[in-house]
Chain A
Amino acid sequence: MISVQNVSKSYGTKKVLDGISLEFQSGRTHVLLGSSGCGKSTLLRILMGLIPCDSGSVRVGDLEVSTEKHFEVARRVGYVIQEGGLFPHLTTAQNVALVAKLRGWTPEKTTERLESLCALVQLDTSVLKRFPKQISGGQRQRVALMRALMLDPPFLLMDEPLGALDPIIRSELQQQLKAIFRKLGKTVIIVTHDVGEAAYLGDSITLLRKGTIIQHGTFSEFNAKPKDPFVSRFINAQRIPEVGAP
């Protein structure tokens, strides 16, 4: 379980997060939804221990998160960002295996893990020898997911993972992600501004605006009992695709 207690964060005079409290149940997929600048990516960074919060506390599993402990957070949490964030000087295999190499895995163990991850994300093993700039956006995102899953962490945090992809690839990957999450049973938090994606992937959805939580619940609750006119406005502003029903 990931729990967030009364977390606030400001950049200068601008308040990005204002007293956020949330709980993310284990084994479920959670979506942080909101328009850009609402504080959702900042919250994710605080959860990773990459930046400090001004007040409040965060727990990931049994660990009290702080920036000093981001090494320990990294052992428990896989992290994927928009466009993958792959290191351009390493092959995709080297990108995925980087953390394993630092932990002294044997080549056999590494190769075995790489192959099973390729199978999981449906990536051809020939892609492993290429450099990030030589493969497609969808492939890059799959490789980034493999890298996050390499050490089999119980938690997975994804910041707009599909944001830069064209619609066909995007919907294809959404389906794959949903299957993977179900299969692995990890605790997943996805940040997105896409209502359809949130509805399709999220077991629970949290809608943020200007650093505060507007509503937390399932998509049907959002539809049936919007807590604020903004909820309906936000949802109806985007056309929900057919596949959107959970």
Chain B
Amino acid sequence: MRRILFAICFLLCGAGLAKSKAVVSSKIFTESFLLGEVLSQIIDSTGEAKADRKLGLGDTAIVYEGVLNKKVDFYVEYTGTISDSLLNDPSLRSVEEIRTALEKIGLTISEPIGFNNTYAIAMLRKRAESLGIRTMTDLQKHPELVAGFTNSFIERVDCYPMLQTVYGMDFGRVKGLAHGLKIQALLQGEIDVTDLYSTDAKIPKYDIQLVEDDRGAFPKYFAVILTRKEVIEKLPRTWHAMRATLEGRLTEKTIAELNARVEVDGEPIQAVAADFLHLDHKGNTYFDTLWRLTKEHLFLVCLSMLFAIVFGVLLAIVARYYRVLGHFILLFTGMIQTVPSLALLCFLIPLFGIGVVPALVALFLYSLLPIVRSTYVGLVDIDPKLLEVGRALGLRPLQQLRLIEMPLASRQILSGIKTSAIINVGTATLAALIGAGGYGDPIVTGLGLNDLNIILQGAIPAAVLALIVHAAFELLDRVVIPKGLR
């Protein structure tokens, strides 16, 4: 039994570690996913390395952290974000200046791949044409128009206040609107002007016109490929292929159309990316993907549970025999459980970076409490008369533990492990947020794309796995719990 368990864990460990690969990541929005997929397909078609897609890893900070920690090799970032948020130096204006600053910390970027995804002012094309508005300077002459902006756009110094300074823009009425409602309000004529990202998928869909920023007031957010210098040295052909394929090729119109195909028409990202690259899209079948996710998920669950069982039971035994220490052990494991699982994952990023290791640590910590508590209760609840008989028979403390106490507590120990395992299967879906893969991958992607189908591709297997784990433990009860106790 034990040997089989070890063999399973060993195989899963093997499956978790791949060979020569280039890790591609993205942030959690359509355009970032799409560009990540484009980079991955370029890597695979170049053949120098195998693309390892860790798309939708998290926010800017998490993905960038991944590049620094060598957990991520490539992703698409925006120049304005690099200078303002990542390097904290807004004075860096040109791509060259930014690249020079990045090279000091071992990173580099490509030339812009074409589009500038910045803030933009948008109007319905018909309305703009009828008023003869093409540029911001034109727009400034129409203070009678009604503007509807997101609240952050109204407040950020580089947004509406800046338009007021640079163009003297001053609309009579400015409404604060939620992001999702702006297009609707525009179409229904409740507002005339709104703010959008310049590559927003809705621009081609609803025949929206962007008002030209003729004085260059908005910050530049050119999309560039961010990587480490050592990656380029290791994969020169891949880097060359990426730059040759992408630099200057993706106009705002092209990327907005590609975004729209994914976001509005619901085409699969892989297909849209392949189409753009004129590659034959040989998508993985659903079952290939499911099998990969299952391996990743089981790897996380099994390994973290293995450690949790060993340490949890040991801690409970210590707690049983040393009262003061035991008090602290129970308190500590209880406290871990009160930390929300997502917060626990994030706490571990500074310590372990992103990927499988922090996920395993978090799942391990999370699985401890049910095991420690139930093992402790199981041990404490043993009839003291039986322990006295054991001593009277001359059993040494370790013999007593092995032959009497553990078997007598086996039912509680196993029920603690069962609870822990079921929680673990569910919590492990969150591991995808820090790039550890598993069933959480489609859930995170689906949330990013607002696509229920993709979410269910992760949520359903996770639920099924929890049921299987439950059933497996019911069977294990019959094997492990001594017959005399059932």
Contact A48 B392 (CB under 8 A): yes
Chain A residues numbered 165-224 whose CB sits less than 8 Å from any CB in chain B: none
Nearest-neighbor residue (CB-CB) of A76 within chain B = B394
Contact B385 A74 (CB under 8 A): no
With contacts A88-B484, A90-B482 taken as known, whether A71 is within 8 angstroms of B396 at the C-beta atoms is yes
Nearest-neighbor residue (CB-CB) of A101 within chain B = B403
Once the chains are docked, how many angstroms separate the CA of A25 from the CA of B403?
35
With contacts A81-B385, A85-B386, A102-B399 taken as known, whether A131 is within 8 angstroms of B484 at the C-beta atoms is yes
Is B388 in contact with chain A by the CB < 8 A criterion? yes
Nearest-neighbor residue (CB-CB) of A84 within chain B = B389
Once the chains are docked, how many angstroms separate the CA of A73 from the CA of B393?
9
Once the chains are docked, how many angstroms separate the CA of A131 from the CA of B482?
10
Contact B408 A88 (CB under 8 A): yes
Once the chains are docked, how many angstroms separate the CA of A89 from the CA of B399?
15
Once the chains are docked, how many angstroms separate the CA of A81 from the CA of B393?
12
Chain A residues numbered 91-123 whose CB sits less than 8 Å from any CB in chain B: 91, 98-99, 102
Interfacial chain A residues near B389, Cβ < 8 Å: 79, 81, 85, 87
Set A45, A48, A74, A132: member contacting B484, Cβ < 8 A: A132
Set A50, A98, A133: member contacting B403, Cβ < 8 A: A98
Set A45, A75, A81: member contacting B394, Cβ < 8 A: A75
Once the chains are docked, how many angstroms separate the CA of A132 from the CA of B482?
12
Nearest-neighbor residue (CB-CB) of A70 within chain B = B391
Once the chains are docked, how many angstroms separate the CA of A71 from the CA of B408?
22
Contact B388 A87 (CB under 8 A): no
Interfacial chain A residues near B386, Cβ < 8 Å: 85, 87
Is B114 in contact with chain A by the CB < 8 A criterion? no
Interfacial chain A residues near B395, Cβ < 8 Å: 102
Contact B394 A50 (CB under 8 A): no
Interfacial chain A residues near B407, Cβ < 8 Å: 89
Is A147 in contact with chain B by the CB < 8 A criterion? yes
**Closest CB of chain A to B227's CB: distance in Å?**
60
Contact A90 B484 (CB under 8 A): yes
Interfacial chain A residues near B391, Cβ < 8 Å: 50, 70, 74
Interface residues on B, range: 20 to 34
Once the chains are docked, how many angstroms separate the CA of A91 from the CA of B394?
19
Is B156 in contact with chain A by the CB < 8 A criterion? no
Nearest-neighbor residue (CB-CB) of B484 within chain A = A131
Is B404 in contact with chain A by the CB < 8 A criterion? yes
**Closest CB of chain B to A112's CB: distance in Å?**
20
Is B278 in contact with chain A by the CB < 8 A criterion? no
**Closest CB of chain A to B374's CB: distance in Å?**
17
Interfacial chain B residues near A99, Cβ < 8 Å: 393-394
Interface-central residue, B390, B408, B484, B485, by most chain A CB under 10 Å? B484
- The proximity string for B residues 469-486 relative to A, scoring 1 for CB distances below 8 Å and 0 otherwise, is 000000000000011110
Once the chains are docked, how many angstroms separate the CA of A91 from the CA of B390?
15
Interfacial chain B residues near A77, Cβ < 8 Å: 392
Once the chains are docked, how many angstroms separate the CA of A160 from the CA of B394?
21
Set B393, B410, B482, B483: member contacting A74, Cβ < 8 A: B393
Contact A87 B404 (CB under 8 A): yes
Once the chains are docked, how many angstroms separate the CA of A142 from the CA of B386?
17
Nearest-neighbor residue (CB-CB) of A150 within chain B = B393
Set B392, B396, B410: member contacting A79, Cβ < 8 A: B392
**Closest CB of chain A to B261's CB: distance in Å?**
64
Contact B396 A89 (CB under 8 A): no
Once the chains are docked, how many angstroms separate the CA of A81 from the CA of B484?
20
Once the chains are docked, how many angstroms separate the CA of A85 from the CA of B485?
15
Nearest-neighbor residue (CB-CB) of B385 within chain A = A85
Contact A89 B408 (CB under 8 A): yes
Interfacial chain B residues near A75, Cβ < 8 Å: 394
Once the chains are docked, how many angstroms separate the CA of A132 from the CA of B386?
13
Interfacial chain A residues near B410, Cβ < 8 Å: 89
Once the chains are docked, how many angstroms separate the CA of A70 from the CA of B482?
28
Interfacial chain B residues near A81, Cβ < 8 Å: 385, 388-389
**Closest CB of chain A to B389's CB: distance in Å?**
4
Contact B483 A131 (CB under 8 A): yes
**Closest CB of chain A to B336's CB: distance in Å?**
32
Set B394, B404, B483, B485: member contacting A71, Cβ < 8 A: B394
Once the chains are docked, how many angstroms separate the CA of A133 from the CA of B485?
9
Contact B485 A74 (CB under 8 A): no
Interfacial chain A residues near B404, Cβ < 8 Å: 87
Interfacial chain A residues near B485, Cβ < 8 Å: 88-89
Once the chains are docked, how many angstroms separate the CA of A79 from the CA of B391?
10
Nearest-neighbor residue (CB-CB) of B388 within chain A = A50
- The proximity string for B residues 362-385 relative to A, scoring 1 for CB distances below 8 Å and 0 otherwise, is 000000000000000000000001
**Closest CB of chain A to B434's CB: distance in Å?**
43
Chain A residues numbered 29-79 whose CB sits less than 8 Å from any CB in chain B: 45, 48, 50, 70-71, 73-75, 77, 79
Write 23 A-B pairs (CB below 8 A) sorted by A numbering: A50-B388, A71-B394, A77-B392, A79-B389, A79-B393, A81-B388, A85-B385, A85-B388, A87-B386, A87-B390, A87-B404, A87-B408, A88-B484, A88-B485, A89-B410, A89-B484, A89-B485, A90-B482, A91-B484, A131-B483, A131-B484, A132-B484, A133-B484
Besides the contacts A50-B391, A75-B394, A132-B484, what 17 more A-B pairs have beta carbons closer than 8 Å? A45-B388, A48-B392, A74-B394, A79-B392, A81-B388, A85-B389, A87-B404, A87-B408, A88-B484, A89-B410, A90-B482, A99-B393, A99-B394, A102-B395, A102-B399, A131-B483, A131-B484
Top 5 A-B residue pairs of the complex, sorted by shortest distance between their CB atoms: A74-B394, A131-B484, A89-B482, A79-B392, A85-B389
